[in-house]
Amino acid sequence: MKVALFIPCYVDQLYPHVGMATVRVLEKLGVEIVYPEEQTCCGQPMANAGFADDAAPLARKFLEVFGRFEHVVCPSGSCTSMVRNHYDPYLAGAPGFEALKQGTFELCEFITDVLKVARIPGRYPLKVGLHQSCHGLRELRLGSASELLVPRYSKVASLLSSLEGIELVPLARPDECCGFGGTFAVAEEAVSCMMGRDRIADHVKAGAEVVTGTDVSCLMHMDGLARRAGERVRFRHVAEILAEAMA
Amino acid sequence: MIGHAERAARFAADDARAHWHDQALWWVRAKRDKAASAVPDWERLRGLASAIKAHTQSRLADYLEEFERNATAAGARVHWARDAEEHNAIVHRILADRGATRLVKSKSMLTEECHLNPYLEARGIEVVDTDLGERIVQLAHEPPSHIVLPAIHRKKEEIGELFHHKLGTAAGLSDPKVLTEAARGHLRERFMRAQAGLTGVNFAVAETGHVVVCTNEGNADMGTSLPPIHIACMGVEKLVPRLADLAVFLRLLARSATGQPTTTYTTHFLGPLRGGELHIVVVDNGRSRLLADETFRRALHCIRCGACMNTCPVFRRSGGYSYAYTIPGPIGSVLAPSVDPRAHASLPFASSLCGSCDDVCPVRIPLHDQLLARRRDAARAGLLSSGKRLGMRLAGMVLRSGFLYLLASRLGKLLGRALPRRILYGRWNVWGRQRELPPLPRESFRDLYRQHRSERRG
Amino acid sequence: MDSRSEILKRLRAAAPPPAPLPDPRSETVPYADPLAQLEAALQAVAAVPVRVAGVAALPEAVAAVVAQLGATRIASAVPGAAPGTVRPEELADPHELEGLDLAILPGEFGVAENGAIWVNAAALPHRGVFVVTQHLALVLPAREVVTDMHAAYARIAALPRSYGLFIAGPSKTADIEQALVIGAHGARSCTVFLVG
């Protein structure tokens, strides 16, 4: 199977090893990767701040770059959701758009839903806290949100818990927002940072040595707070954990 | 201009108190989860509630006429108010014509929205809010900070102090039982001498003419069964077509609001007290405008349970007053801009867009999508600060062009390495005030991937 | 244009396209023992359920509650339940109900899912008696239990259209630091006699 890799701009620039971990995981699972170099930002920061006019050309560019691929895979729930759930105002009716929406996947759901891989061969003998980033959880439905009265599941947790030696720690608030929220992190700095510290405290109290998640943006926010506070807990994207375990 | 962020920062500055507030509301959210999980078809009920509301909206005028016919036949008098001013004038006229100067009220967010209390007080009417939480904030000369838990921001010691000054209770009381007992005595006296009682309306039933009022304290029942005049104030959106529809909403309302299986008193008013009068004031005040708005009309589904506030991680840590609007929290941030887009421009941004409000909402209002839509409206109308506008424009321009984007980030990295910490973490760096900056790797993913490719080929 | 016409006109102009009205059918699986479920639900809303073997045993059960509460001013709207010392129908003004220790009222039916009892208060000489009284007792035939609120409204729809209410336990509040306090404005206790 051949997939196009969609690497969000902040992953490209700030967390390139998360992109590389994604590459390694997919290659280990037998996937052939294409990385279209002309890709840029998906437009989410502008769209979430209300600047639809600025997001529109980026959405069009995205379709131009990725429209020709059957599968697009991205190591971010939030950016995937931008394409799947928030491109309609810009691209509705455009040729290839519906196929693009249906063919764009967050990494973990691509593994569980498209590759139909339930168990990842590998070992990760650490206590891990799973941060369920909100857009992955509630827009992509990568798991069951705690508010909903539906059978419990989590695509990310099921992949992680298939690793040998891993212990997923139970949190007091299983899916509270970390407070990143894009421009919210800066525009509402006080509440954003309080939310982030509270998330970290929940993970630390549960005994997590490593906090993981599907979105580097949330992890970047919590990592920044944790490093400032001198917390020992580390933050790793789920692709990094899978890649390390499979290595 | 001061917006939500500044007010929230003030609330959050008292870390212990903000966390106390967060915990109190999280506890209510947890109770809601437990109560909802006892209903096997909870998600189906939410869908039904949303569908009933959508249907009712499509025929609202017909249902209002049907309701009016049935309520009138049962002896009520129905009044119509275009806006807050007309609503207040109608209530005042009913009281003034009958020489009533002492009014007891049970909870009504509509009268808060219309600022009825100051209107009546300015005209010589004594208005006593009788819900305990509402009485507390009334005595403190504050608005409610939450629509279901009006005094959730107050500690029991502060309420003891307030009662000591206002009700003459002993100094230093803080036991909720003792304080509630004191309020019971104080308010019972007010009930006994009241000449009229005013209530809100949770639901109005078109096919029967009932107005339904839910309370736990019984204050709506006290206020409408002692004085002969009952005034019930309702927004046009409170209609449901049939009695049978109440089953859906009542199964959802109390469980969503406080985690109770039902409120203690769910009173179905039909006609006046023997020898008394029932006046029903039906109010538009912007609701027809909202109904006309395809993007936001579903916000009119709201049954005022407050669940979106309890689950909102921002509300819990910023407090109801940070929204500076009658209805705070996610639903308030959607509603407020339809009243005054400029004054409330910051509210749609008072959210991390986590979407928890959508999933908790018993009538399935797509709150976080609507918040996003409000942001778009604010940007389009030019209501955002020039700094924010410029920053986003710039980012948009840079990111659109791959080359510029790469150049800018390389430059940024060079600067990041070269700059000493005190400049890197200067006042300009809002991110870095409480957080470390992310690492600045030497190579981008593009670079690493190119190497990876050539290695594999080689 | 008058306000009524203008509001209705605006609402008609703003109305979204037609949407179907769904049938809110119940999906609650009937309880194996509805009465036991009602008792549990009553306890959950801080009411006190008391099973009474039959109508003949009711006066004794009521007398026990009267004694326990030390109630002296009692109004009963349930024939044969207790010798009422206050006759509400003889009071001209509902304010004279103040000081009532106990009101004993008939309930029409109970709702097993939530402990609510439907009371046809329109039949009472003063409808506020249930809330002005210091303590409340409801008398309900034990067979009158419905599963959930859907069944409850089916029952109500079959009754003459009138004022009425659900009562679920005693008056309560949690407005001070979320601490549950029983007896906010209305009854400080709610005993439910399940008869038969």
Give helix B367-380 / helix A52-66 axis angle, nearest 10°: 110
pLDDT score for A45: 86
For B321-341, write each residue's pLDDT tens digit.
999 999 999 999 999 999 999
pLDDT bracket for residue B391 (50, 70, 90): low
**Residue B376 clears pLDDT 80, i.e. is over it:** yes
Q: What confidence score (pLDDT) does residue B342 get? A: 93
Integer Cα distance of A88 and A85 in angstroms: 7
Among partner residues B22, B360, B452, which is closest to A147 by beta-carbon distance?
A: B360
| Residue C193: band (very low, low, confident or very high) from pLDDT cuts 50, 70, 90 | very high
Q: Which residue has the tokens 């020992």?
A: A232
What's the CA gap between A104 and A110, in Å, rounded?
9
pLDDT attached to residue B425: 83
- Which pLDDT value is given to residue B456? 81
pLDDT of residue A38: 94
In tens, the pLDDT along C138-173 reads: 999 999 999 999 999 999 999 999 999 999 999 999
Interface of A with B in 202-231 (CB under 8 A): 220-221, 223-225, 227-228
The pLDDT of residue B395 is above 70: no
Q: Is the pLDDT of residue B66 over 80?
A: yes
Digit-coded pLDDT (tens) for C118-137? 999 888 889 899 999 999 99
Q: Do residues B194 and B128 lie in contact, with contact meaning Cβ atoms separated by under 8 Å?
A: yes
* For residue B401, pLDDT beyond 60: no
Element at B80 (helix H, strand E): strand B76-81
User: Is A12 within 8 Å of chain B by CB?
Assistant: yes
pLDDT higher than 90, residue B250:
yes
Q: What are phi and psi of C139, to 5 degrees?
A: -115, 125
Mean pLDDT score across all residues of chain C: 95
> What is the reported pLDDT for B457?
77
Inspect the interface and report whether the beta carbons of C28 and B28 lie closer than 8 Å.
Answer: no
Per-residue pLDDT averaged across B142-157, rounded? 97
Helices and strands, number each (H, E), in chain A: 14, 8
* Shortest Cα–Cα distance, B155 to chain C (Å): 6
Q: What confidence category does residue B75 fall into, taking pLDDT thresholds of 50, 70 and 90?
A: very high
Determine the pLDDT at residue B431.
87
Confidence of residue B429 (pLDDT cuts 50, 70, 90): confident
Q: Which residue type sits at A31?
A: V
Q: Which residues of chain A have pLDDT under 70?
A: none
- In chain B, % of residues over pLDDT 90: 85
A-chain residues near B432 (CB < 8 A): 224
Report the sign of the C-alpha dihedral through residues A202, A204, A206, A212, in that order: positive
Q: How many angstroms separate the Cα of C135 from the Cα of each of A154, A218, B27, B266, C129?
A: 50, 54, 30, 18, 10
What's the pLDDT tens digit per position in C57-106? 999 999 999 999 999 999 999 998 988 889 988 898 999 999 999 999 99
Cβ contact B346:B3 at 8 Å: yes
> DSSP letters of B271-291?
SPSTT-EEEEEEE-TTHHHHH
Q: Residue C119: beta bridge partners?
A: C165
Residue C39 has pLDDT above 90, yes or no: yes
Contact check, Cβ <8 Å, B445/A16 = yes
Q: What is the pLDDT of residue B458?
A: 65
Using the beta-carbon criterion (under 8 Å), do B359 and A139 form an inter-chain contact?
no
Question: Using CA of residue B93, residue B97, residue B101, residue B102, what is the dihedral sign?
Answer: negative
**Residue among B359, B401, B402 minimizing CB distance to A147:** B359
CB A37 within 8 A of CB A65: no
Residues 361-420 (B) with a CB less than 8 A from some CB of A: 372, 375-380, 384, 388-389, 392-393, 395-396, 399-402, 405, 409, 413
Interface test with A, best of B434, B450, B457 (most A CBs within 10 A): B434
Structure confidence at residue C153 (pLDDT) = 98
Q: What is the DSSP string of C29-91?
A: PPPSSHHHHHHHHHHHTT-EEEEESSGGGHHHHHHHHHHHHT--SEEE-STTT---S--GGG-
Tell how strand C109-111 and strand C117-119 pair up: antiparallel
Closest residue in A to B322 (Cα) is A191
| Nearest Cβ partner for C116 among B187, B236, B266 | B266
Measure CA B75 to chain center. 33
Determine the pLDDT at residue B367: 98
Of residues A45 and B132, which shows the higher confidence score? Answer: B132
Categorize the per-residue pLDDT at B410 as very low, low, confident or very high, splitting at 50, 70 and 90: low
CB-closest option in C3, C94, C167 to B225? C94
Whether chain A has a CB inside 8 Å of the CB on B58: the answer is no
Check whether B408 has a pLDDT greater than 70. no
| Angle, alpha carbons B331-B332-B337 (nearest 5°) | 115
**Size of chain C, expressed as the number of residues it contains:** 196
Overall average pLDDT of the B8-35 stretch: 98
